[in-house]
A and B are shown apart, each in its own frame.
Chain A
Amino acid sequence: DAMVIQNPRYQVTQFGKPVTLSCSQTLNHNVMYWYQQKSSQAPKLLFHYYDKDFNNEADTPDNFQSRRPNTSFCFLDIRSPGLGDAAMYLCATAPGGWKSNTEAFFGQGTRLTVV
């Protein structure tokens, strides 16, 4: 049973047209992450939520925003996609907590194409 679900699996958007990617989880985890992964590269952390607390990576462009309306859902908004934003976007969750060092669970990703 899928525990971290990303929709859609494939998304095509036009240059400059806002696009939203979604992620849902059934694990009730406190932490949700968004990663960007370009071809043949490691996933790069964009931002994460610990509960409702939003944490942006210093080098994440302002073009990328995120929303977490509740524990189960998290959205990645790309306000004006450029050709360089074409990538696989990965959502992940983790339990969190001060004594937590357990694994992060990844979704299958959304492959974004910008035309």
Chain B
Amino acid sequence: GENVEQHPSTLSVQEGDSAVIKCTYSDSASNYFPWYKQELGKGPQLIIDIRSNVGEKKDQRIAVTLNKTAKHFSLHITETQPEDSAVYFCAATPSGGYQKVTFGTGTKLQVIP
């Protein structure tokens, strides 16, 4: 099955700085890579996703890059704000049928005002 590794497990940045979270996956059949943000006591919410036919995707302050050859993908948050503080999970899903979301281990991001 798919195995997703995520680093770092915790990340502290000053407000306004950038934050980068990196993930690797094992199953070359995976072709959809969502990123979820989970605030304390709530369910994960999708913030951005990327498909394997795309190398980079950007949505305002958030961007995701994908290197299929190396099986790496990363989340980039620029101009961080205190409300960005949360746990972020990367995930990978295989093609076809339906999503079976395999999550990374999570990164707790703290943005210091």
A, B: real partners: yes
Is A56 part of the contact surface with B, judged by Cβ < 8 Å?
Answer: no
Residue in A94, A100, A106 whose beta carbon sits within 8 Å of that of B44 in the complex: A106
Q: Is the CB of B44 within 8 A of A90?
A: yes
Is A101 part of the contact surface with B, judged by Cβ < 8 Å?
Answer: yes
Q: Is the CB of A106 within 8 A of B43?
A: yes
Residue in A42, A45, A97, A107 whose beta carbon sits within 8 Å of that of B98 in the complex: A97
Which partner residue on chain A sits nearest B33 by CB separation?
Answer: A101
Which partner residue on chain A sits nearest B6 by CB separation?
Answer: A42
Q: Is the CB of A100 within 8 A of B34?
A: no
* In the bound complex, CA of A98 to CA of B103 (Å): 21
Chain A: interface residue count, which band? 20 to 34
Is B18 part of the contact surface with A, judged by Cβ < 8 Å?
Answer: no
Q: Is the CB of A109 within 8 A of B42?
A: yes
Distance of B71 from chain A, by nearest CB (Å): 17
Is B81 part of the contact surface with A, judged by Cβ < 8 Å?
Answer: no
Q: Is the CB of B49 within 8 A of A96?
A: no
State whether A30 and B98 are in contact (beta carbons under 8 Å apart), knowing that A43-B103, A101-B32 are contacts in the complex. yes
* In the bound complex, CA of A41 to CA of B51 (Å): 25
Name 18 A/B residue pairs within 8 A (Cβ), A-sorted: A6-B43, A41-B106, A42-B103, A42-B105, A48-B98, A48-B100, A90-B43, A90-B44, A96-B97, A96-B98, A96-B99, A100-B97, A101-B93, A101-B99, A103-B34, A104-B101, A109-B41, A109-B42
Task: Identify the A interface with B (CB < 8 A).
Answer: 4, 6, 30-31, 33, 40-43, 45, 48, 50, 90, 92, 94, 96-109, 111
Interchain residue pairs A-B with the least CB separation, the first 6: A106-B43, A101-B32, A42-B103, A96-B98, A94-B99, A103-B46
